[in-house]
Amino acid sequence: MPTNVQESIDVEVPVSTAYNQWTQFESFPRFMGGVERIEQVDATRTHWVTKIAGVKREFDAEITEQHPDERVAWKSVSGPDQAGVVTFHRLDDKHTRVTLQLDFEPEGVVEKAGDALGVVGKQAKGDLGRFKEFVESRGAEDGAWRGDVDRTPQRGETPAPPA
């Protein structure tokens, strides 16, 4: 049975700063617990190495939708079945609400037990708190990728007409 986790946090930086920092995937180990390394393979693919509750995983993920200052969505293309989206909501010129939603399928006894105890939700909340500290303490992003990635229709969906 898939699990869905959603957490939000308000950060004291402009929306473009929060968004730009989030697109710097290789910096994630600096604020995401359990993420050992992320390699940016190309504009839309990343390779992740994680170790959570003693379980080490490697997987590839693909950005499925990305719009500057609005959202970044991804899904795994190898390894455990997971997907997520982070959205950025401008509150005012200096404040942004960052909302993270994760969908995943726990595997094995350890992950299923952790899921039952809400470990991933607590991890997501902690990661967002560390992101807040990271981006606010810097006052500026350490890079940016402002490319647009349009969502590809899923099997059975009709593509949206061109705008």
CA 16 to CA 146: how far, in whole Å?
10
38 Cα distance to chain centroid: 12
Q: What is the pTM of this model?
A: 0.84
CA 14 to CA 32: how far, in whole Å?
21
> At 153, is the secondary structure helix, strand, or coil?
coil
For the segment 4-61, what is each residue's pLDDT rounded down to a tens digit?
A: 889 999 999 999 999 999 999 999 999 998 899 999 999 899 999 988 767 788 999 9
For the segment 91-133, what is each residue's pLDDT rounded down to a tens digit?
A: 999 999 999 999 877 676 666 666 666 677 888 899 999 999 9
